[in-house]
């Protein structure tokens, strides 16, 4: 035993020998670690890939997916690695997944996550307008989302009414072109879709103007898009300004006031109308409130039943009514305009005389 230890002791006492052994051990460890990393990186991993080209907004079914093996080193962190993470989901908007392609986290979403990018793109302060189009008015389906267009207006039949033509709205950005089913015309590369509506955003005033014009087809009003900056033939028509077209639309439209506007107008028109308040049963005390200015700015009076008009100068006038009669209060302006408040005063019991206070 001692005969074996002596040579080992001599070896480890030699610094050169120890250094060489240490280097060898380090090289062995590096080789083992490197080989482990290489094996891990090239080890095949099963991932789902598309068996066919999948269009945007399409539900991914089982037959659209197959499992293949790929080296782990070739996969990024956003690659979906399970078939269950793909089947039953939908491809994102404006996303085409080619045949043989991997699935990524930003290209596959749940059905309830499918957005309509049109409304996302509408600028603050603008309203979405749905403009009817067809193959002809889109220049053979050549107007794409993101293009700028002008809206032209033509009116008149050319017989008993002269044809007018002009630019109504300028430099509008197209947000989407959709077919009659509401599908984006240009999102599908394998299916031909016919344009039916062009969607863009405009300020509210322009939105109302376009709506008014769109309802005037019966009088020959026609709206059509033109690529921004494009020329329009005016042969046989009178070219007019935008303001002339706006005036034409407003002249053929009726603005219906809202309830709030109507109430405000009524309040303004009835500001001089007397107010009448009653209390009691027999006699009934009727209090008439007139606007300030009775006897100076206005002529104020009241009439009870068949009696003669009584002129008053006070802002408040109280009348005791002892028999059922109609009480009429009036305010007459200097220009002759009369504001009237009339009410039948019902008195219970016996009749009697009317007393003014």
CATH label of the domain that carries residue 299: 2.60.40.10
300 in any annotated domain: yes
Are 129 and 72 in a shared domain? no
End position of a domain, from candidates 98, 113, 128: 113
Are 122 and 104 in a shared domain? no
In the numeric block, which tokens belong to residue 294?
């009775």
36 in any annotated domain: yes
How far is 62 from 177, CA to CA, in rounded Å? 31
Is there a contact between 299 and 332 (Cβ–Cβ < 8 Å)?
yes
Instruction: Count Cβ atoms below 10 Å from residue 278 Cβ, excluding itself.
Output: 15
pLDDT tens readout for residues 111-159: 777 766 677 678 888 999 999 999 999 999 999 999 999 999 998 866 7
292 in any annotated domain: yes
From 225, 250, 242, select the one nearest 167 (Cα to Cα).
Answer: 242
In the numeric block, which tokens belong to residue 229?
């900056």
Are 235 and 218 in a shared domain? yes
How far is 44 from 331, CA to CA, in rounded Å? 98
Q: Which residues of the chain have pLDDT under 50?
A: 267, 351-357
264 in any annotated domain: no
257 in any annotated domain: no
From 208, 209, 187, 207, select the one nearest 199 (Cα to Cα).
Answer: 207
Helices (H), the chain: 2-13, 15-42, 117-121, 204-214, 242-251, 259-269
How far is 234 from 163, CA to CA, in rounded Å? 10
How far is 175 from 235, CA to CA, in rounded Å? 31
End position of a domain, from candidates 113, 134, 156: 113
Range of the domain at 171: 117-251
49 in any annotated domain: yes
Are 14 and 128 in a shared domain? no
**Burial profile 181-206: b = 16 or more Cβ within 10 angstroms, e = fewer:** eeebbebbeeeebebbbbbbbbeeeb
Planar angle of CA 216, 250, 223, nearest 5 degrees: 40
189 in any annotated domain: yes
CATH of the domain at 106: 3.90.1210.10
Are 133 and 247 in a shared domain? yes
> What are the backbone dihedrals phi and psi of residue 352, each rounded to the nearest 5 degrees, phi first?
-165, -165
The CA distances from residue 227 to 148, 169, 172, 244, in Å, are 6, 12, 9, 22
Are 300 and 323 in a shared domain? yes
265 in any annotated domain: no
Which residues 6+ apart lie within 8 Å of 114 measured at CB? 57, 90, 92, 93
Residue recorded with tokens 């993101």: 146
Are 108 and 125 in a shared domain? no
Are 84 and 100 in a shared domain? yes
Are 71 and 89 in a shared domain? yes
How far is 225 from 212, CA to CA, in rounded Å? 17
How far is 23 from 132, CA to CA, in rounded Å? 80
Are 223 and 128 in a shared domain? yes
Per-residue model confidence (pLDDT) at position 214: 92
Per-residue model confidence (pLDDT) at position 129: 93
Per-residue model confidence (pLDDT) at position 355: 40
How many distinct structural domains can be found in the chain?
A: 4
End position of a domain, from candidates 221, 251, 281: 251
pTM of this prediction? 0.50
pLDDT tens readout for residues 313-355: 988 999 988 888 899 999 998 888 899 999 998 888 754 444 4
Are 306 and 331 in a shared domain? yes
Are 336 and 297 in a shared domain? yes
Q: Order of strands across the sheet with 325-332?
A: 310-312, 299-304, 325-332, 338-345
């Amino acid at each position: 035993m001692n005969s074996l230890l002596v040579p080992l002791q001599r070896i480890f006492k030699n610094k050169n020998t120890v250094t060489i052994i240490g280097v060898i051990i380090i090289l062995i460890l590096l080789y083992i670690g490197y080989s482990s990393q290489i094996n891990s990186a090239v080890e095949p991993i099963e991932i789902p890939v598309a068996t066919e080209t999948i269009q945007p907004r399409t539900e991914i079914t089982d037959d659209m997916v197959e499992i293949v093996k790929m080296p782990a080193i070739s996969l990024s962190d956003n690659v979906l690695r399970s078939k269950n993470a793909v089947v039953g989901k939908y491809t994102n908007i404006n996303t085409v997944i080619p045949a043989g392609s991997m699935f990524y986290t930003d290209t596959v979403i749940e059905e309830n996550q499918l957005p309509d990018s049109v409304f996302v793109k509408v600028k603050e302060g603008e309203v979405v307008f749905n403009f009817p189009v067809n193959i002809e008015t889109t220049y053979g389906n050549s107007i794409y989302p993101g293009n700028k267009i002008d809206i032209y207006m033509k009116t008149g039949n050319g017989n008993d009414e002269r044809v007018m033509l002009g630019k109504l709205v300028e430099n509008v950005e197209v947000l989407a072109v959709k077919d009659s089913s509401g599908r984006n015309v240009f999102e599908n590369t394998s299916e031909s879709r016919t344009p039916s509506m062009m969607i863009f955003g405009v300020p509210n005033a322009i939105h109302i103007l376009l709506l008014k014009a769109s309802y005037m087809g019966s009088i020959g009003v026609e709206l059509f898009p033109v690529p921004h900056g494009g020329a329009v033939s005016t042969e046989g028509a009178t070219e007019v300004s935008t303001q002339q077209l706006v005036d034409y639309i407003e002249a053929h439209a009726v603005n219906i006031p809202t309830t709030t506007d109507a109430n405000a107008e009524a309040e303004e028109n009835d500001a001089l109308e007397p107010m009448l308040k009653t209390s009691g049963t027999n006699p009934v005390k009727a209090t008439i409130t007139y606007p300030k200015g009775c006897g100076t700015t206005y002529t104020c009076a009241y009439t009870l039943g068949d009696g003669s008009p009584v002129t008053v100068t006070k802002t408040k006038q109280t009348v005791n009514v002892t028999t059922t009669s109609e009480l009429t209060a009036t305010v007459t302006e200097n220009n002759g305009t009369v504001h009237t408040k009339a009410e039948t005063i019902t008195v219970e019991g016996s009749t009697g005389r009317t007393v003014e206070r």
